[in-house]
Structure 1
Amino acid sequence: MLSTTPLTDGWILRHPDEDGAGLPAAVPGCVHTDLLAAGLVPDPFLGRNETEAAWVGRREWTYERRLGTASEHERTDLVFDGLDTAAEITLDGRTLGRVRNMHRSHRFDVTGLQGLLLVRFASAYTEAEAVRGRLGDRPAAYAEPYAFVRKMACSFGWDWGPTLVTAGIWRPVRLESWSTARISRVRPLVTVEQGAGVVELRVEVERTRADAGLAVEARVGGVRARAAIDGTDGTVRLRVPDPELWWPRGYGEQPLYDAELTLLHGSDALDVWRRRIGFRTVELDTSADAHGSGFTLVVNGERLFARGVNWIPDDVFPSRITRERYRRRLGQAAAAGVNLVRVWGGGIYESGDFYDACDELGLLVWQDFPFACAAYPEERPLRGEVEAEARENVVRLMPHPSLVLWNGNNENLWGFRDWDWERRLAGDSWGEGYYLGLLPRVVAELDPTRPYTAGSPWSGSWAHHPNDPAHGTHHSWEVWNRTDYADYRREVPRFVAEFGWQAPPAYATLRRALPGEDLAPDSPGMLHHQKADDGNGKLERGLARHFAVPEGDFDRWHYLTQVNQARAVAAGVEHWRSHWPVCAGTVVWQLNDCWPVTSWSAIDGDGREKPLYHELRRLYADRLLSLHVRDGGLVLAAVNDSGEEWAAELVLRRMSVAGEVVASTRTAVRAAARTVAHVGVPPELAPAGPKEFLVADADRLRALHFPAPDREVPYPRPEFDVSVESGAVTVTARTLLRDLLLQADRLDPAARAGRGLVTLLPGERVTIEVGGWKPPLGQEAADAVRSALYCVEPAR
């Protein structure tokens, strides 16, 4: 049987030009984390220390350790699951190979060899700039040369991320010793046919003996099958009767089956492959209709609205992301009602731990190939690397039932059309051959059970603009960049794959990341942790459209920018969900951060949930009430994305901001499963000017409509009572409290609140669970809570 020896210990990190003992190196890891552990660079996440670590990415580095390969087996391989990025590997002075791709694994025959193992990393800048010198420059969204090296693009910086260009052995490394043969690849094609689960395992083996008779025996769900290996490949097919289907969350359960395949030589087991699989079907409906051409995911025959979030690497140093951290972050997504996670193309193919968690949580995965916001050359050495990484990762990830879509790139087809690339390229290659040629061929050959789309955004062909909202996927960035979030309501795209609004991270996150700084929107650390072009200007202009912008009051600015972020995303999601099935999905930019930063995230770089996160829990719930202005009148949309009919009494109240009910009515609302019902609001209930608003209540859900921006609304001075118990805070309103927020991390950095923004009418109360805080006794606790409570106040 194949034996494995992990190589995690005994590594030393050196700079080639330096003598001395070197540094202890963690493997998996990277140079930055080793230097941090040794105290040789300051934490780049704090203050403006990022600039103090810039030199690291410009230097060469060497990992070394002694290696012995003595074994009773016929063959020993040195296997690297991930090397970041351009490196030469030598053993006892003998070159084993040279590599240049972070997204691939590498295997070297080291049978009988021993001595000093060296992994010499060139600077990724040196590698990228050399390729650019040979192939010529290409346009990109950023000046860094990320398009010329197969590496996580965002390590070169992004409009939410630091520039920390990594190097290192970032995934596990091991010795594998074996005799006769080993399993080199298994492609599990999992389908459902006529009520049965069908598993076709296509096996490839590597041999030391060409004449050895080999077979494979497979087991799935109690069903067994056996097949011979002819040469270096074979196929074994199993049929599992009446399997339990795997469903996305909200549509059913997520049963997983253990699949095992054993390579045999006679009765001797040589190698074993084990994975978990799930039975389900997936289609992508892009057919034409009266509204254009759609983009609807269909799982097990059920058409679904994708309640999505975009995922970026959860740490700029990906080797630090543990299985537990993936589970925690994706668990937060699931708890917010998310059913789809898009793995964005400027990052990585994530660890198997990521996809395992998605399998278990019922989170659909849309996987980008790693191309983002640049023209990518198609010549060698890049083309061969692109094909090799695509082939490896398609096979690596295809066992996971959560994976439902392969996507060729992020914004590159759009960039070619709209960002002046075509003129600047003057006929040079730019990636079209990957997205419309190579990648769809690889997916069709290796993983025909899943759909592929060429890019996001993409209208399906060059017959339409790549970002045409009537066709395929759409990225809505004009709103954040230039206009007001009310403009989300001007269009009904078929599928909104990116949109979002910025806000700063939680207060405790800022305090940790900017120690000792006198916080202000434009203080040095705040500006350094704002990477977007004119980001603060867009925040300010976005605020000014709705609020009187506070001058010199950082705490109010911090609160209002977070409110504005939640309101902006709500404006889009409420509008687009109300237009199901014409619009079949929203994928909010973005779920998470890779460091503490002002960004579009719902969960900040320290893992704290911003008000947007809690708003997503409302927006992405199975049932949602929202109010809309259409054709000159008000309409209530009752979105029912549950599997049962929704019938409820709807109470509509026209109210004054002083708390008086001006007019009211009761009516029935009924929405069939997976549909949206619309109820017209009687004209006499429409608010008359900024002193009034409309409240809609049904089944403990609420929708509000204020006809004027907050800066025009004569809110009363907020008055409320507070009571504190262990683990909970109760607020009772004596006046209208608009968007009340308890910032629990102001009570204690470890504290978390169980809910976000809530609007209370006079006399109403809300109890907010608070974890991680031990309140003081008596009035001191209530005073502390009052200092952490914020709501919209009358304009000053």
Structure 2
Amino acid sequence: MISKQDLGGAWTLRGADHELPATVPGCVHTDLLAAGAIPDPFLDDNETTVGWVGRADWAYRRDIAWDGPAHERVDLVFDGLDTVAAVALGGTPLGATRNMHRGYRYDVTALLDGSPQPLDVLFTSAYTEAERVRELLGERANAYPEPFNFIRKMACSFGWDWGPTLVTAGIWRPVRLEGWSVARLATVRPLATWSDGAGRLDLTIEAERLHDVPLSVRVLLDGREVARGELPPGDSRLSLSANPDFVRQWAPIGYGSQPLHDLTVELSTGDVLLDRWQRRTGFRGVSIDRGPDAAGSRFVIEINGEPVLVKGVNWIPDDIFPARMTRARYELRLREAVAAGVNLIRVWGGGIYEDRAFYEVCDELGLLVWQDFLFACADYPEEEPLFSEVVAEARENVTRLAPHPSLITWSGNNENLWLHGAMGWSDEASWGERYYLETLPAIVADLDPSRPYQAGSPWSGSWDHLPNDTGHGTFHSWEVWNREDYLNYRDSAPRFVAEFGWQAPPAWTTLRDAVSDDPMLPDSPGVLHHQKAEDGNGKLARGLAPHFGTPSSTEAWHYLTQLNQVRAIRAGVEHWRSYWPHTGGSILWQLNDLWPVTSWAAIDGAGRYKPLYFELASLHAARGLTVQPRDGGLVVAVLNDSPAGWAGRLAVHRRTTGGELRAAWAVPVEVAARQVTLVEIPRDVTAIGDGEFLVAELDQARALWFAVPDKDFPHPDAALTVTADPVPGGLDVLIRADGLARDVLLQADRIHPEAVADRGFLTLLPGESATVRVRGPVELDPALVKAPWVVTDLATVLAGDE
């Protein structure tokens, strides 16, 4: 049986006149931080101060010896090296690497004689390698000014329009010694599918041999043998299938349960067990309906034959130093996504293939995973030394992630097919088209035919249409935000929106902790350094102007930009949901951040919730209402994404800010499961006068409609009363309004940096009240709810009275 010896923990790091303790897994930056050798790169402009780290060469060392049982072979195994490394043991070179996204294995049997031997991993700067390859192959276009497209490394470590430039190096995933004899399981690739009410398991097993002896393979599910096969001498590959009648169907959250089955593969010779591989897997069917219709071509994801309305978020690496990620942190962030009503996570192509723990948690929670291959926003050379690295990386990761039922689709790239033409990038040299249209689909067809492949995102399905065509396939909506107001989301009904978003700063405490500016202003140096988008603050200002005018203070700017982000995302999601199934869903850019920054995220870089996070739960609710303009009038879209029909009495009222009823209308409605019904509102009800608005209600669902921009609506004082009662773990804050109180916000981090509220913006009609639950790690002072900007509302902010 294989024996394993972990080599993580204490190492030594040398380079750039430094010698200091290192921790593996880890990276140079985290080791330097732990030693106090560099300042916090998240503070002010320290990112620039520590830029030299990414351009230096570094060396990791520790002594190793095999102290396990005797074996015929001992391998040194790296699950991940970042990125350009030379590995040597006892002064003997073992190999060189140039890909962060692969693992490496070296036979070190002859080099381990029982005495400790120095293991050296020498890292060359990723800049050095990328610039060498660029010089060799020639320039390629790029949306950002760094050479990330010339090296197989996490692209966003070179900076992005939401991320810092912190180019890492290090042993970023586990390293170990493995002792084995006779043979071992080199790869196990299970494809677990479901169709016609039954599960099917197809496995491909590859063994690495030291001897040509007969080998046996045994496959167990939940401890029951479901398949057995033999590898005669000389054979190293075996395919097995099983149709276990006891497995249950796995479904995404909201569409069923998530049963997982323990899968075990054993390799033996005679009665001797040589190796054992274990994972959990689930059985489900996956397809994407991309067929033609009268409006173009569809893009509807189907799981187990059932169309799924996608309520998705884009995922970037949750830490600029991904070695710091733990299973607990993955679980925290993914559970937060579920709490926000999310059912799909898109792993974006400028990051990494995430750790096994990420996909296991998604399996358990029922979160669908859309996995990009790692290409983003650039032309990528197809020549060596990159082509063979791409092939090896893709084959390894398709195999590695095969067991996970949550993984439902592979996508070739992020925006490369679109930007190449839209930006007018040159066709004189290779640019990646071969990867996306030939190489990667062939790999997926060979290794993982159970999951549909997409050439990229966005992609219209072929060159017959422009890649970002609203009528075909997936669409990225970036004219809105970059150039257009968010109400322009209503100008089209794309078939599937794979990216869209609107910026806002992080929570107040997150921004204040990251910036030393005094005073801190929207355009002060530290705030601007933590705004990476091109003219990002200009776009924020232009986005505010038609809705709220010019903020009167930094605090007002912070509040209004948060509110405008919520307004924008609500405008898009409600519009697109009203077009289901014509529009197959949307994927917000983005769920998370990897440092404190003004960005499109719902959860900021310190893990604090922006108001958008809470809004997502409302937008993704199984049942909801939205008032939408259609054909010169207004309709109520009754949104039912639940597995049961929804029947009731839809009521629409026209009211004043003081609560006076000006018009009323009601009608019975009945909406089938997973469907949307549009109900036209009579014109006499929608004849909205000054200071009037509409309220639509059905059961517990409510939607409001205001006919004029916020800045033009008369907002009288709502006469808010706020009382806070201490409770175990925090405060219950009761907010009551005598008049209309729009967009009341309690910012819990202004009470205590670790305090959390259970809701974001809320609107109260005259006479209504709501309780906001605030929880924290220490006893919270109820008097602080009266402090400036802890609780405020739109009328107060627009009046400049805070």
1:192 Cα deviation from its structure 2 partner: 2.4
2:633 aligned with 1:618: no
2:352 aligned with 1:354: no
Q: 2:147 aligns with which of 145, 148, 171?
A: 145
1:190 Cα deviation from its structure 2 partner: 1.4
2:267 aligned with 1:263: yes
1:116 Cα deviation from its structure 2 partner: 1.3
Q: 1:142 and 1:325, CA in 2 relative to 1: closer, same or farther beyond 3 A?
A: same
Is the Cα contact below 8 Å between 1:78 and 1:176 reproduced in 2? yes
Q: Give, as a single letter, the amino acid of the residue that structure 2 aligns with 1:28.
A: P
Taking the aligned partners of 1:63 and 1:777, their CA distance within structure 2 comes to: 49
Q: Give, as a single letter, the amino acid of the residue that structure 2 aligns with 1:537.
A: G
Taking the aligned partners of 1:627 and 1:582, their CA distance within structure 2 comes to: 18
* Alignment match, 2:385: 381
Q: 2:766 aligns with which of 751, 762, 769?
A: 762
1:141 Cα deviation from its structure 2 partner: 0.2
* Alignment match, 1:655: 655
After superposition, residues 20-99 of structure 1 pair within 5 angstroms as 22-69=19-66, 72-99=70-97
Q: Give, as a single letter, the amino acid of the residue that structure 2 aligns with 1:532.
A: A
- With 38-47 and 185-194 compared, the bigger mean Cα shift is at 185-194
1:699 Cα deviation from its structure 2 partner: 1.7
After superposition, residues 314-353 of structure 1 pair within 5 angstroms as 314-353=318-357
Taking the aligned partners of 2:226 and 2:454, their CA distance within structure 1 comes to: 35
1:598 Cα deviation from its structure 2 partner: 0.1
- What is the SS of the residue equivalent to 1:445? helix
**How large is the RMSD of aligned CA atoms in angstroms?**
1.4
* Alignment match, 1:789: 792
Is the Cα contact below 8 Å between 2:377 and 2:414 reproduced in 1? yes
2:538 aligned with 1:537: yes
Is the Cα contact below 8 Å between 2:603 and 2:610 reproduced in 1? yes
* Alignment match, 1:482: 483
After superposition, residues 378-777 of structure 1 pair within 5 angstroms as 378-421=382-425, 424-426=426-428, 428-515=429-516, 517-551=518-552, 553-725=553-725, 726=727, 727-772=731-776
1:2 Cα deviation from its structure 2 partner: 0.4
1:781 Cα deviation from its structure 2 partner: 4.9
Q: 1:140 and 1:776, CA in 2 relative to 1: closer, same or farther beyond 3 A?
A: closer
Q: Deviations over 1:289-339 (max 9, x none)?
A: 011001111100101111000000000000011100000000000011100
Taking the aligned partners of 1:454 and 1:43, their CA distance within structure 2 comes to: 39
- What is the SS of the residue equivalent to 1:685? coil
Q: 1:111 aligns with which of 82, 92, 109?
A: 109
Q: 1:344 and 1:390, CA in 2 relative to 1: closer, same or farther beyond 3 A?
A: same
* Alignment match, 2:131: 129
1:777 Cα deviation from its structure 2 partner: 6.6
Is the Cα contact below 8 Å between 2:247 and 2:261 reproduced in 1? no
1:261 Cα deviation from its structure 2 partner: 0.5
Taking the aligned partners of 2:418 and 2:793, their CA distance within structure 1 comes to: 41
Q: Give, as a single letter, the amino acid of the residue that structure 2 aligns with 1:791.
A: L
Taking the aligned partners of 1:82 and 1:68, their CA distance within structure 2 comes to: 21
Is the Cα contact below 8 Å between 1:340 and 1:366 reproduced in 2? yes
Is the Cα contact below 8 Å between 1:559 and 1:790 reproduced in 2? no
- With 148-157 and 786-795 compared, the bigger mean Cα shift is at 786-795
* Alignment match, 1:171: 173
Q: Deviations over 1:121-143 (max 9, x none)?
A: 00000000000000000001011
1:728 Cα deviation from its structure 2 partner: 1.1
Q: 1:774 and 1:25, CA in 2 relative to 1: closer, same or farther beyond 3 A?
A: closer
Is the Cα contact below 8 Å between 1:722 and 1:786 reproduced in 2? no
Q: Give, as a single letter, the amino acid of the residue that structure 2 aligns with 1:376.
A: Y
* Alignment match, 2:310: 306
Taking the aligned partners of 1:336 and 1:44, their CA distance within structure 2 comes to: 30
* Alignment match, 2:184: 182
Taking the aligned partners of 2:357 and 2:591, their CA distance within structure 1 comes to: 18
Taking the aligned partners of 2:309 and 2:557, their CA distance within structure 1 comes to: 35
Q: Deviations over 1:25-65 (max 9, x none)?
A: 11000000000000000010111111111000000000011
2:257 aligned with 1:253: yes
- With 728-737 and 455-464 compared, the bigger mean Cα shift is at 728-737
* Alignment match, 2:198: 196
Q: Deviations over 1:94-135 (max 9, x none)?
A: 110010000000000000314211100000000000000000
Is the Cα contact below 8 Å between 2:624 and 2:638 reproduced in 1? yes
Q: Give, as a single letter, the amino acid of the residue that structure 1 aligns with 2:460.
A: S
The share of aligned pairs that are identical, in percent, is 56
- With 162-171 and 197-206 compared, the bigger mean Cα shift is at 197-206
1:193 Cα deviation from its structure 2 partner: 4.4
Taking the aligned partners of 1:766 and 1:687, their CA distance within structure 2 comes to: 30
- The runs of 5 or more residues in structure 1 that have no matched partner are none
- The runs of 5 or more residues in structure 2 that have no matched partner are none
Taking the aligned partners of 2:364 and 2:356, their CA distance within structure 1 comes to: 12
1:658 Cα deviation from its structure 2 partner: 3.2
Q: Give, as a single letter, the amino acid of the residue that structure 1 aligns with 2:489.
A: Y
Is the Cα contact below 8 Å between 1:101 and 1:149 reproduced in 2? yes
Q: 2:237 aligns with which of 229, 233, 236?
A: 233
Is the Cα contact below 8 Å between 2:654 and 2:688 reproduced in 1? no
Taking the aligned partners of 2:547 and 2:788, their CA distance within structure 1 comes to: 27
Is the Cα contact below 8 Å between 1:295 and 1:473 reproduced in 2? yes
Taking the aligned partners of 2:190 and 2:459, their CA distance within structure 1 comes to: 29
1:467 Cα deviation from its structure 2 partner: 0.2
Taking the aligned partners of 2:411 and 2:565, their CA distance within structure 1 comes to: 28
Q: 1:673 and 1:105, CA in 2 relative to 1: closer, same or farther beyond 3 A?
A: same
Taking the aligned partners of 1:786 and 1:516, their CA distance within structure 2 comes to: 19
Taking the aligned partners of 2:456 and 2:176, their CA distance within structure 1 comes to: 36
* Alignment match, 2:158: 156
- With 121-130 and 216-225 compared, the bigger mean Cα shift is at 216-225
Is the Cα contact below 8 Å between 1:223 and 1:240 reproduced in 2? no
Q: Give, as a single letter, the amino acid of the residue that structure 1 aligns with 2:453.
A: Y
1:514 Cα deviation from its structure 2 partner: 1.8
- What is the SS of the residue equivalent to 1:405? strand
1:517 Cα deviation from its structure 2 partner: 3.8
1:195 Cα deviation from its structure 2 partner: 2.8
Is the Cα contact below 8 Å between 2:140 and 2:379 reproduced in 1? yes
Taking the aligned partners of 1:685 and 1:79, their CA distance within structure 2 comes to: 70
Q: Give, as a single letter, the amino acid of the residue that structure 1 aligns with 2:201.
A: V
Taking the aligned partners of 2:463 and 2:95, their CA distance within structure 1 comes to: 41
Is the Cα contact below 8 Å between 1:548 and 1:795 reproduced in 2? no
Question: If the length of structure 2 is used for normalisation, what is the TM-score?
Answer: 0.96
1:250 Cα deviation from its structure 2 partner: 0.5
Taking the aligned partners of 1:558 and 1:775, their CA distance within structure 2 comes to: 27
* Alignment match, 1:217: 218
- With 753-762 and 173-182 compared, the bigger mean Cα shift is at 753-762
Taking the aligned partners of 2:690 and 2:383, their CA distance within structure 1 comes to: 61
Q: 1:26 and 1:777, CA in 2 relative to 1: closer, same or farther beyond 3 A?
A: closer
Is the Cα contact below 8 Å between 1:687 and 1:693 reproduced in 2? no
Is the Cα contact below 8 Å between 1:498 and 1:587 reproduced in 2? yes
Taking the aligned partners of 2:792 and 2:779, their CA distance within structure 1 comes to: 15
Q: Deviations over 1:389-444 (max 9, x none)?
A: 000000000100000000000000001111011xx342x10000000000000000
**Number of aligned residue pairs:** 787
1:495 Cα deviation from its structure 2 partner: 0.2
1:236 Cα deviation from its structure 2 partner: 2.8
- With 642-651 and 373-382 compared, the bigger mean Cα shift is at 642-651
1:242 Cα deviation from its structure 2 partner: 4.8
Q: 1:26 and 1:478, CA in 2 relative to 1: closer, same or farther beyond 3 A?
A: same
- With 730-739 and 29-38 compared, the bigger mean Cα shift is at 730-739
- What is the SS of the residue equivalent to 1:99? strand
